[in-house]
A and B are shown apart, each in its own frame.
Chain A
């Protein structure tokens, strides 16, 4: 690991002033569960770390009549334990609990989860984010069992690692961002994640000197759930996930969002599949049809075709779980 400077500012402005406008020169440190690993793997070699740990304003959950706001430095454990979050947003709670280890959710933060780097094993062994050698991706002819089945026709083949991402998009969350000089902007979660086209880019719309400050989720009364296909119970990654949210009045779906996770370089919204549910009840049959529609257009690689079956099932089960939660309420 390269020697680096460690800065621990106690307000946001100070933190922003310490950030470079070039990726990799400085890095934002939250819980450190991913960033430190990235540094050990030489994925990034910053000369300065800017810790957000002492910036109190970034931590905590506030609830008002309209929405729930979560500070970026709130730990995943605190989010999953929050009473209001638990009742309103099971899609988020399942996503966090799925991570499977108290150590990880106690240290990991909401901001860190959204901005964590992909786990692609070519990326993590110094082949770059796009995993290329001589301008060609190593992934299609390599071992791609955990790689993307959607959105993989361009340079990126990794999957977005964030389990929160799909849940936030399904719930229509907004991401609050602050940049140089305190400039703020708000981005819908659905626009926050992006697919990098070159090594100079990263996986979100953040600029190197911008900080994700908070996430706000409106209280729209949406039925919602996440279903994750996981094998091991402890700290691990899911093979595919689906987060869904929809209004459900008189057993009729409206405003449905269906978002797949761990299948594409970004959380993968499938609006056409969601549209299929419009106006109908969430039955086993409808949910299965939606799952089927969700995997239409997938472009699996040599070793990850199995993910289609998993994604299809995840959608079906997430929909049924969300509808089920309605009945109990």
Chain B
């Protein structure tokens, strides 16, 4: 009998090793088919016409000229908008479908809008524009504790709206066959994609076939089929022709989701010993026209004895927010770590010592202490560290900064079917999706490990809603959910096989295990049968194993868990005469329970660091405050880091005793949380003043240096 628990360390052949992605070769060779690559005979190209107004009442949309353009097959208008308001530039208003992309784009220019512009709020930096409703929270004896703190520092900190900037834009190719809709979207939620789409297009879910084998990034922005999913499907249904609708880059940046901004006035009360006493923060920001939740401050140092937090929202006429890797955490981390590090600088204390002094104010003092030591070693903290302000001559100043973060990462509900066939083949089916992170590979590893087979022996089928449903990939919940479900399904299948084989080998079912391509007696390894021969014993009948990840139960079994910590340190050089910040090195230390594939786990951390460096140094949505238009809705001035910009990245995963037995924990969010904090702190440490805003571009750095009298 195979047990669902993870095998012990000495029994693991694949789990925890560095294993390359199964779909690496097809991606490298350029043959992997993304939504955009689904091409069919008679394909139509759909394009979206969007609101040029940040706020307006739509009186009429005239599609006549667009419709009349040769090559235009059909048009679509959002009738519900007529007489109603659009709330941001980029809001979907209408669409056209044509025989070529060029014609579709040309047709968009023939659409005319009769609209009455309304007043719009674009800027999100001015707190006086916030709604009256405030959230207020006080903990501890705030007034007295703050008053008693020996030193108080106050600062302004600010992190702008950024986008997900998926390299593969949002969209899909859709095609009708009879009553059935076949759709190839770029999605983070294969099994849930048709929810709501069915009603919107009048096709039952059973007739909607969703397929997403590979996709080019979602980061929290691709949970829904979105309006363009509905439009593309409706156009396919109406014309009977396949329709491809992928967002243009400007639309992708304007409307396909963003990370809310966060601005804060933060006062920190600290004693000369370095002990944090109190924190007061007024926080505001925008998530566009809709909801906004101020970020979690204080972050990680949640047990600061006394706090007073005020949160406000600024509603803006800009594209709406969506979950962005670790929602709220990168902002909360930056605001908190910067503010407390400013307090450390004010009392002249080394930042590492300061963070260590205050670890008891966190939920994981012991873990963070270890991680701080490891990161310090990795980056050479002892030899490089200095108090705030590099005093060496010349314009190039070097500094180190620290960030600390946390995340949950409990595996999501997920189902898995695995069938073992008489010919020895193993077919795994799960309605999950691989966002590029290695999901496909991870499920293969778990199944192969369980069956004692090589990874190649598992036929891994994911990315389709025809398979047992699995939840959306978000919040670092996937790896836990899919690993547990796969483990449960494969042990179930294996046990059914063992039931058949054990009597034939004349061993007890509890005495049979799957290792090295065999079923073998534990007590007498000379009694064994090769996998294929064992499967032949099934006769004409396959066995089907089913696994369902039920959170509490899997946690109980030790398959999954939640709650991780991480520490990152950044080493930067600031040219104080130009404000140019260069990243020399980053060290990341992370725990995430039992690691299934060390390679993809590490690569997740590298990716998090790169994405984090990007928002720390370059990324920012820039709007025109009059037109409401995003001025850098392109890849030219919406800057992302390139390979030469990221410096040396060092990753250390905490594994082994103390970590492995917790089971699998997600890793998507944690590594992207700290970079803004660590890099901002490093810049302050280098040049002697806090640059209060991210990204750390020359304009902002020079302004802070000038305000600080440094240049």
Binding site for B on A (CB under 8 A): 1-2, 42, 119, 121-122, 125, 138, 141-143, 145-146, 229-234, 236, 239, 303-306, 309-310, 313-314
**A142 near B580: Cβ-Cβ < 8 Å:** no
A142 contacts B698, CB within 8 Å? no
How many angstroms from the CA of A121 to the CA of B631 in the assembled complex?
Answer: 6
5 more A-B contacts (CB under 8 A) besides A230-B580, A310-B579? A143-B623, A232-B618, A234-B644, A309-B578, A310-B578
Flag if B631 contacts A309 (CB, 8 Å): no
List residues of chain B with CB under 8 Å of any chain A CB: 102, 105-106, 109, 395, 577-581, 617-618, 622-626, 629, 631-632, 636-637, 639, 641-645, 697-699, 702-703, 706, 711
Contact with B703, one of A232, A306, A314 (Cβ below 8 angstroms): A306
Q: Is the CB of B641 within 8 A of A232?
A: yes
The smallest C-beta distance from A307 to any residue of chain B, in angstroms, reads 8
B642 to chain A: which residues have CB within 8 Å? 232-234
Q: By the criterion CB–CB under 8 Å, are A310 and B625 in contact?
A: no
20 contacts across the A-B interface (CB closer than 8 A): A1-B106, A2-B106, A121-B632, A125-B631, A138-B626, A141-B626, A142-B626, A231-B580, A231-B698, A232-B642, A233-B642, A234-B643, A303-B699, A306-B698, A306-B699, A309-B711, A310-B578, A310-B702, A313-B395, A314-B578
Knowing A1-B102, A142-B624, A231-B617 touch, does A306 contact B579 (C-beta < 8 A)? yes
In the bound complex, what is the Cα–Cα distance between A125 and B89 (angstroms)? 13
Complex: chain A residue closest to B250, CB-CB? A125
A residues less than 8 Å from B626 (CB atoms): 138, 141-142
**Within the assembled complex, what's the spacing in Å between the Cα atoms of A231 and B702?**
13
Query: Which one of A1, A2, A143 contacts B631 once the chains associate, using CB atoms below 8 Å?
Result: A143
Query: With the chains together, A329 CA to B400 CA distance in Å?
Result: 39
Q: Which residue of A lies closest to B698 (CB)?
A: A239
Which listed residue (A145, A234, A313) contacts B699, Cβ 8 A?
A: A145
Residues on A with C-beta less than 8 A from B579 are: 306, 309-310
Cα A142 to Cα B623 in complex, Å, equals 9
Chain A residues within 8 Å of B706, by CB? 309
Query: How distant is the Cα of A143 from the Cα of B621 in the complex, in angstroms?
Result: 12
Question: Distance (Å) between the CB of B427 and the closest chain A CB?
Answer: 43
What are the residues of chain B within 8 A of A138 when measuring CB–CB?
Answer: 624, 626
Q: Which of B626, B644, B699 counts the most A-chain CB atoms under 10 A from its CB? A: B699
Known contacts A121-B631, A313-B578, A229 near B641 by CB under 8 Å: no
B637 close to A121 (CB less than 8 A): yes
Q: Closest 5 A-B residue pairs measured CB to CB?
A: A233-B644, A234-B642, A306-B702, A313-B577, A306-B699
- Nearest chain A CB to B496's CB is how many angstroms away? 54
- Neighbouring B residues of A146 by C-beta, 8 Å: 637
Q: What are the residues of chain B within 8 A of A236 when measuring CB–CB?
A: 639
CB pair A143–B624 under 8 Å, yes or no, is yes
Find the A residue at minimum CB distance from B622.
Answer: A143
- Residue in B105, B577, B579, B629 whose Cβ sees the most chain A Cβ within 10 Å: B577
Q: In whole angstroms, how far apart are the Cα atoms of A267 and B77 in the complex?
A: 47
Q: Give the shortest distance, in Å, between B477 (CB) and chain A (any CB).
A: 34
Q: Which residue on A lies nearest to B618, using beta carbons?
A: A232
With both beta carbons as reference points, the residue of chain B lying nearest to A101 in the complex is identified as B642
* CB of A146, distance to nearest CB on chain B (Å): 8
Chain A residues lying within 8 Å of B702, measured Cβ to Cβ, are 306, 309-310
Q: How far is the CA of A121 from the CA of B706 in the complex (A)?
A: 27
Q: Measured between alpha carbons, how far is A239 from B577 in the docked complex, in Å?
A: 13
Chain A residues whose C-beta falls within 8 Å of the C-beta of B629 in the assembled complex: 125
CA–CA, A190 to B207, complex, Å?
68
| CB atoms of A234 and B625 under 8 A apart | no
Q: CA of A142 to CA of B622 in the docked complex: distance in angstroms?
A: 11
User: Which residues from A are CB-within-8-Å of B703?
Assistant: 305-306
Residue from the list A42, A232, A306, A310 in contact with B639, Cβ < 8 A: A232
Task: Give every chain A residue within 8 A of B697 (Cβ-Cβ).
Answer: 231
**Which residues in B have their C-beta under 8 angstroms from that of A303?**
699
Contacts of B623 in A (CB 8 A): 143
Most chain-A Cβ atoms within 10 A of its Cβ — which of B109, B578, B579, B697?
Answer: B578
A139 to chain B, nearest CB (A): 10
B698 touches A233 (CB 8 A): no
Q: A143-B624, A306-B703, A313-B578 are in contact. Are A229 and B698 (CB under 8 A)?
A: yes
Contact residues in B for A142 (Cβ distance below 8 Å):
624-626
Q: Chain B nearest CB: distance from A321 CB in Å?
A: 14
Give A120's nearest chain B residue, CB to CB: B631
- Nearest A residue to B706, CB-CB: A309
- Minimum distance in angstroms from B663 CB to a CB of chain A: 41
Q: Which chain A residue lies CB-closest to B614?
A: A232
The CA of A121 and the CA of B109, in the complex, are separated in Å by 20
Which A residue's beta carbon lies closest to that of B629?
A125
Closest approach, in angstroms, between the C-beta of B143 and any C-beta of chain A? 39
Query: Which residues of chain A come closer than 8 Å to B618, judged between CB atoms?
Result: 231-232
The answer on a CB contact under 8 Å between A233 and B645 is yes
**B699's closest neighbor in chain A, by CB?**
A306
Asked if B105 and A1 sit within 8 Å, CB to CB, the answer is yes
Contacts of B699 in A (CB 8 A): 145, 239, 303-304, 306
Query: Across the interface, which residues of A come within 8 angstroms of B395, CB to CB?
Result: 313
